[in-house]
Amino acid sequence: MAMRRQLAAWTALIALTLGACGGGASGAGDGGSPPAPPPPPPPISDAEAWRFLNQATFGATPAAADEFKRLGAAAWIDAQMALPASLQLPFLQALPAPQFPFERQADRLDAWFRNAVNGEDQLRQRVAFALSEIFVVSQQGALVSYPYGLASYYDMLAGHAFGNYRELLEDVTLHPAMGIYLSMLGNEKPDPALNIRPDENYARELMQLFSIGLVELNADGSVRLGADDQPIPTYDQATIEAYAHVYTGWHFAGAPSFELAFPNAFNQTIPMQLYPDYHDTGEKRLLSGVVLPAGQTGEQDLAGALDSLFFHPNVGPFVAIRLIQRLTASNPSPGYVSRVAAVFDDNGAGVRGDLGAVVRAILLDPEARPAAPGATDGKLKEPLLRLTQLWRAYDARSASGRRSLRAAGVFFGGAPPAAPPVFNFSGPFYAPPGEIRDGSLVAPEMQIATEYQNTLVTNYFLYQAFGLNSASDALAEDDVYIDIDDEVEVAADTDALIDMVAAKLTGGELSATLRAEIETMLALLPADDPVLRAAETIYFIASSPEFAYQR
Amino acid sequence: MLKAAAAFAATPGAAFAQSAGFVAPFSDYRALVCVFLFGGNDSWNMLVPAGGAEYNAYAASRQNLAVDAATLLPINPLTPDGASYGLHPSMPGVQSLFEDDGAAAFVANVGPLLRPTSKAEVLAGAANLPPQLFSHNDQQDQWHSLKGVGTSRTGWAGRVADLIRGGVAEQRMATNVSLFGATLFQSADETTAYVMGPSGPVAFEGFGSEGILLEQRRAFERVIAANYNSVYERAFAAVQRRAVAAADEVGAALEAAPALATAFPVSLLGQQLETVARLIAVRDELAMQRQVFFVAAGGFDSHDNQNEDQPGLLGGVSEAIRAFYDATVELGVAEQVTAFTQSDFARTLTSNGDGTDHAWGGVQLVVGGAVRGREIYGSYPVLEIDGDVDVGGGRMIPGIAADQYAATLARWFGVDDADLDLVAPNLANFAIRDLGFLA
């Protein structure tokens, strides 16, 4: 039954998007007005609009800020959540079959950038990106040969961005991309004569990384301590082995048998199928005293196992911390975590795991919108988010139409989704040496902000500003360039130029130092070389610490 | 003794402040090169019993994942333990380092431990164990930091760099250099590791030494030197400052380095180790006397397709380390450079059909001219399921602590015996402070 529900959801998702392919209702909010409009909220400042949009989208822009100020936060979220998902798989499927599957990874990246930079469903795409950094799969490794599977996996995350966590868990578990990545696909029941026992990979990581974590948490996300003053492990090796027995018998769908289940372009995009002969039917003793009786089907076992995780009290704070860190703050207070976790536990209508309500709670929490951000509020933007923000602000495009930044893996520390083995590039508890670590704070994005990576990203912004712009006559057809025509027009006027770039990249805010240094440089550049002046200004702002910081 | 470790955990800064002042300037050069095998290397298929009852036990446990005895590359340790051993057939490079050069040794059954323990203790839940055994990132952190149950946020190489900093005051680059990203291993209180790319530092394009490009650099430097409100901006700007400062000097030194005659394999690990060799070649230009390099290879988490993937994984390590040793000979520094492996954990003896799962103790490899080579240090266990040191499924209790392994390396590197407990906080709980594999 779980399987049928699963398939139905999947099909509905695909149908929804196919139908929505061409349209894209722009400017959500000019739909029909409600009969009795509430009194207008107090006006929203530019700074507030920019902060909110940098938290909730792939980068604030002046146009997006105008729309946000008109709608207000709550209505903006409503409008965004109503938009259908921009998908990757239909884009890939419209292209001819490649000679070698891995060749389509560049096109998958193209689709990712199109949706991230230009998708109307910005909130959904940003949350899908966050989910992809929690429910990690990677194109590095075996999945390099499964571009359709990866695209379909990402689409699945986008489809569930405002859905229910329990259904997300099930679709993640049964997706063949995850099945390949964490080796549940092909996992079979024990064969004691050959010392073969079920693969523990997915059983372990589903608990550690996707649902409850290693140690018991309080509702505010803090670690519970036992009588010995030490953290209390949530599970032990025996628990892992019990769950490993649950996840047996699944393989690519539609094959004549388990042994003959080979991948093709289609079965990597639909949920795995149970092959009952390979499922362990013994009793399984799970977390929280849940016991799955012997003789159940694989679907029954799976439902019981996922329920046992879904109802574990850790899930609320576990999910709250991770989503808050991806969207708004590296170091949420216990109060912030517990408010969001409470919404996870109950959305107000008695429903547990409502991700739409969780996202809303994260974005509308007072802690996400302090009047004046303190030293530890906010977070660092990961390099890709700085790039997408620049591209959104400068209407980036290429002659061929492709947005396939093939160098993303080098310059930006990984094309999405592409993480080092299993653990995402930045663990939620990474603390760089120095005042952050010494203050018992964390900064996950600092893990990839190394001397090496920062230099590459800085250099990329240099190439983008000076070379890959609309004034260049040396662009290759796939080069993604930024449109600096407006800047070129005003470039002779230093103040006007700086104001214009700042308006597009920071909502107009610039530190005195940054403005002064740009002025210094512009004074040295020839007044009659507007392209150089425009590029210099964009480079200095895009590569600055303040542009790397999300308030 | 345990108390001393606890006190250290509480006030690491004070302990270091007392200790670091006493280091005299070094008169020689030494380097440690950590080769981290991410994912958990299945080292029971790297160094394998080659015959007799020991091979039979191994083959019975490993079943379809056992390496065929006939294909093992034989090795002959100078001090036999009664069993015969061979290497995975993909590792002729390490075989020759062991047999011909006498520059390679194995440390058998080493892993994270807080104190010696037994199967009975572990199964009874009585043992004082490192938390979250068998979990990737926790056991990586354990190897990196040797932190035990505490919350130390420094790594053992970071603490080594702090302890010896009085002896390397003239160095123009950080003692700790990573070619594989930021790592807890090199995190420290007083010193800062430097992260470069697999081919070395990348220069900032657009900065020059004269004219407008110099002005551009100066303006950029003033932006990243400014005061910022947010801790995140400050942390980001600090990295930028280090990057700008190091890129020129280190990059220029590296560019001036003569080409190596030694050929390295075309792989990410080969590329990193070649860069390390080139950095060692320019040690005098940068006034380096003590260096810890971090390089790594990934993909060792062989939950599936193990038989297909293992030859490439182990062969890649063997070839790259062989080339690296040759390069140190070429540079005349073989006796001053020691490379060693670390990995999350070894893997289960039992199979999950076509792969293995996370386990505990395993075998590590040490290579260099200072290594008392052609030996297996420690006791290689009988690889039987439910044997004396198997806590279940073929997860072997280490006989040697990662602390002992690290302390042996740190002592050779120049850390005073009295300070080794600061490097390896659990060392005091073990009788042997030096495993003897370094001269």
Report the chain A residue with the minimal C-alpha distance to residue B13: A438
Of the listed ranges A13-22, A358-367, A434-443, B165-174, the least confidently predicted one is A13-22
Residue A24: what pLDDT? 33
The number of helices, as runs of H, and strands, as runs of E, in chain A is 25, 6
Q: Does a structural domain hold residue B216?
A: no
Average pLDDT of span B17-26: 64
What is the rounded end-to-end Cα distance, in angstroms, of chain B? 27
Task: Please state the rounded mean pLDDT for residues B390-414.
Answer: 97
**Confidence check: pLDDT of A425 > 90:** no
How far apart (Å, rounded) are the C-alpha atoms in residues A102 and A108?
10
Q: What is residue A421's predicted lDDT score, i.e. its pLDDT?
A: 41
pLDDT at A417: 72
Q: Does residue B169 lie in a domain region?
A: yes
Average the pLDDT over B402-413 and give the result: 98
Residue partners of B282: CB distance under 8 A and separation at least 6: B253, B254, B256, B257
* A521/B216 touch (CB, cutoff 8 Å), yes or no: yes
Which of A274-283, A351-360, A370-379, B369-378 shows the lowest mean pLDDT across its residues? A370-379
Q: Are A214 and B135 in contact (CB < 8 Å)?
A: yes
CATH number of the domain that B14 lies in? 3.40.720
- List, as one string, the DSSP characters of B352-418: SSS---B-S-EEEEEEETTB--SEEES-PPP--TTSTTBSSSS-BPPSEEHHHHHHHHHHHHT--GG
Q: What whole-number percentage of chain B has pLDDT above 70?
A: 94
Q: Which of B 30-89 lie inside 8 A of A, CB atoms?
A: 38-39, 60-64
CA-to-CA distance for A539 and A497, rounded, in angstroms? Answer: 13
Integer CA distances (angstroms), B299 to A147, A421, B134, B359, in order: 20, 7, 17, 16
A111 lies within 8 A of chain B by CB = no
B257 lies in some domain = no
Task: Give the number of other CB atoms < 10 A from CB of residue B79.
Answer: 8
| Rounded Cα–Cα distance for residues A95 and B433 (Å) | 63
Is B243 close to A511, i.e. CB distance below 8 A?
no
Number of domains in chain B: 1
Residue B254 within any structural domain of the chain: no
Q: How confident is the model over A317-327, as pLDDT tens digits?
A: 999 999 999 99
> Which residue type sits at B107?
V
Task: List the structure tokens of A89.
Answer: 């798989």
Q: Are A292 and A277 in contact (CB under 8 A)?
A: no
DSSP B127: S
Q: Is residue B412 part of a domain?
A: yes
C-alpha to C-alpha distance for B120 and B114, rounded to whole angstroms: 16
Give the structural domain span for B145.
Answer: 2-200+283-429
Confidence of residue B248 (pLDDT cuts 50, 70, 90): confident
* Chain A, nearest residue to B240 by Cα: A451
Pairing of strands A379-380, B194-195: unpaired
Name residues 220-259 of chain B within 8 A of A (Cβ): 220, 222-224, 226, 228-240, 242-243, 246-247
Residue A406 pLDDT class (50, 70, 90 cuts): low
Answer yes or no: are the C-beta atoms of A422 and A183 closer than 8 Å. no
Residue B230 lies in a domain: no
Instruction: Dump pLDDT digits (tens) for A169-178.
Output: 999 999 999 9
For chain A, what's the residue count? 551
Q: Give the CA count within 13 Å in the CB-facing half-sphere of B19.
A: 24
CA–CA distance, A207 with A287 (Å, rounded to integer): 10
Whether pLDDT at A4 is above 50? no
> What mean pLDDT is predicted for residues A222-250?
95
A500 vs B18: which has the higher pLDDT: A500
- Longest CA–CA span in chain A (Å) reads 82
Asked if B309 contacts B302 with a C-beta cutoff of 8 angstroms, the reply is yes
Q: Is residue B235 part of a domain?
A: no
Strand partners, A215: A233
To the nearest 10°, the Cα dihedral for A147, A148, A150, A151?
110
What pLDDT shows up at residue A7?
A: 36
Nearest CA to CA, how far is B402 from chain A (Å)?
22
**ipTM of this predicted complex?**
0.92
* Residues B196-230 as b or e (16 or more Cβ within 10 Å = b): bbbebbbbbebbeeeeeeebbbebbbebbebebbb
Tell me if B300 sits within 8 A of B37, measured CB to CB.
yes
Answer yes or no: is B247 within a domain. no
- pLDDT tens sequence across B231-246: 999 999 999 999 999 9
Task: For chain A, report the end-to-end CA distance as a whole number of angstroms.
Answer: 46
Tell me the C-alpha distance between B315 and B95, whole Å.
11
**Interface with A, mutate which of B230, B306, B349 (most A CBs under 10 A):** B230
CB distance B201–A466 less than 8 Å?
no
pLDDT band at B125, cuts 50/70/90?
confident
Q: Does A546 touch chain B (CB under 8 A)?
A: yes
Mean pLDDT of A193-197: 92
Flag if B219 and A520 touch (Cβ within 8 Å).
yes
Give the residue from B63, B17, B21 showing the smallest Cα distance to B44. Answer: B63
Whether A14 shows a pLDDT value over 90: the answer reads: no
Asked if A450 has any chain B CB less than 8 Å from its own CB, the reply is: yes
* Cβ contacts of A103 within 8 Å, gap of 6 or more: none
Handedness of CA B411, B417, B420, B425 (dihedral sign): positive
**What single-letter DSSP state applies at residue B296?**
E
pLDDT of residue B414: 96
Residue A3 reports pLDDT greater than 50: no
Q: Alpha helix locations (H) across A282-441?
A: 298-310, 315-327, 334-345, 355-364, 383-393, 408-411, 435-438
How much is the average pLDDT of B207-236? 97
